[in-house]
Chains A and B, each alone.
Chain A
Amino acid sequence: MIDDVAQKLANIKTKAVAEFFSLQNDAEIEKWRVKYLGRKGALSALFEEIGKFRTEERQYLGKAANELKKELEEKLRAASDRTKSHGKGEESFDETAPGIPVPRGTKHPLTQFTDRICAVFTSMGFEIVEDREVEKVEYNFDKLNMPDNHPARDMWDTFYIKSQIPPANGMFHEVVLRTHTSPVQLRAMETRKPPVRLVVPGRCYRHDATDASHETGFYQLEGLVIDKGVSVANMIYVLDSVLKRLFGNFVKIRIRPSFFPFVEPGHEIDMSCMICEQKGCSVCSKTGWLEMMGSGMVHPVVLNNMGVDSELYTGFAFGMGIDRLMMLYYGVDDIRLSYSGDLRFLKQF
């Protein structure tokens, strides 16, 4: 009796183990499980039989049966792992199918380009300063060595602001939309003493007809360095470094004398046309050079207006049009795209 059950147990074990090694796939494994470990399987039936014995015998047989059950369950687990580890991984699929896109947003190309420029300046210890867009004429022109009725004011077409509230002390201030970010430099110098290194990015306004190269509102970045003994040679070094960082080490610059009322001497900085490598193209009007920015040594009158002693200190200033440079960099052909809000444009960046 007890020996019969013990023998049955031994048989089940032998058969189960033998069959186990020839199992080929998940379906067969499942069949084997049901046969031996299932609710109506061999072991289950055996447990029922064992249950009819007296306590001592039941315990003895039960223990053996449980051990077998554990052993078979182990095998089952191992088999599942095995099929997991070598079946699915070699399932064939199209490896050239496109990846599921990761959604991405974009910063505006003008933001990106301004950030790139500012990063170069920050690496040279320049501070970033911003200030108001609507300014008094004193800050936009007068204190920059352009008094009222001066021909130099013709260089900028200005938007004027209708004054709404009559000033209390009767002094009338003409108010404009700033034509350049230079007024910010004046305001910055009201709370700073040399040595000073700063850049001023910001939106400026010119009363100009709009077309592919002109917008009424656009972005400029100006800079100012004031210290003892600052020279044209320093200015050339800084601007050359910046342009090389932005456009590549292979670009060359050319300095041409020019005129701005707030600097003396004044310059225009050209850069070699990287589109045609100076062979001549429509972008550089066949000259091989691109106008990049204006610059010069800060005029002593302006230094004095900034509260800086022009006998002790000198400085240089420069200004560039970000829209234009961004368009050159990316090959954008119409300035108005930047302000169109058109996602077909913005998503490209």
Chain B
Amino acid sequence: MIQLALVIDLNVCVGCHACVTSCKEWNTSGEAGYMSDDRPYGEDPTGNFFNRVQTFEVGEFPNTETVHFPKSCLHCEDPPCVPVCPTGASYKRPEDGIVLVDYDKCIGCKYCAWACPYGVREIDEHQKVMKKCTLCVDRIYDKSLPQAERKPACVMACPTNARLFGDVHDPDSEVSVAISENGGYALMPEWGTKPANHYLPRRKTRIKIHDDELMRADNPLKKEGVRPKPDVHEPSLDDVTSW
């Protein structure tokens, strides 16, 4: 079974919001209709977004880290929003695991939004239906696009390559390897929703340098530090030089 998902690398995300704007641009121009905005240039703007980048500060000054945190639908493997839908408008596609809303069946009761702990569903105040990230389902299967562009708009837009897209059920896929090799994790594991999207944590790259790596005790060129004095009959580093 295929489970398409995003893997978001918090170590790389710089919080530029390019994924937010490209998501809005692609989805508001899509065949499913616009994503409504109200008073976009007014005092109290509001609108529909499928993807947001939030910023958190971890630690206390001066030992702080700024974590930029993109959040969109996690396409849970056990999505709590799907069984509560009274009409069946909210569904999980068996063929690729994408959680979608059938806008023609949705009655706009908002119960699915209550049933999502992550707050990734938003009602469209004008079309009066529930909307959410579609993993760009109208893009990733589009044969008219070159293979390299059959990815969600947010993934295409990310300038630091912090967003990876692929099948998390295929152990050899780029996303699965990234999750297993870099400690990928799911959000709010306490509710058993098994989110398909994973996040890669902040990682520190440290290198441990031992003294003998700076001061080579057996430096054959004898240019630095304490010179070893092996016996003339003992084998040296290369079995050739001795003194």
On whether the two chains bind one another, the answer is no
B interface list, Cβ under 8 A from A: none
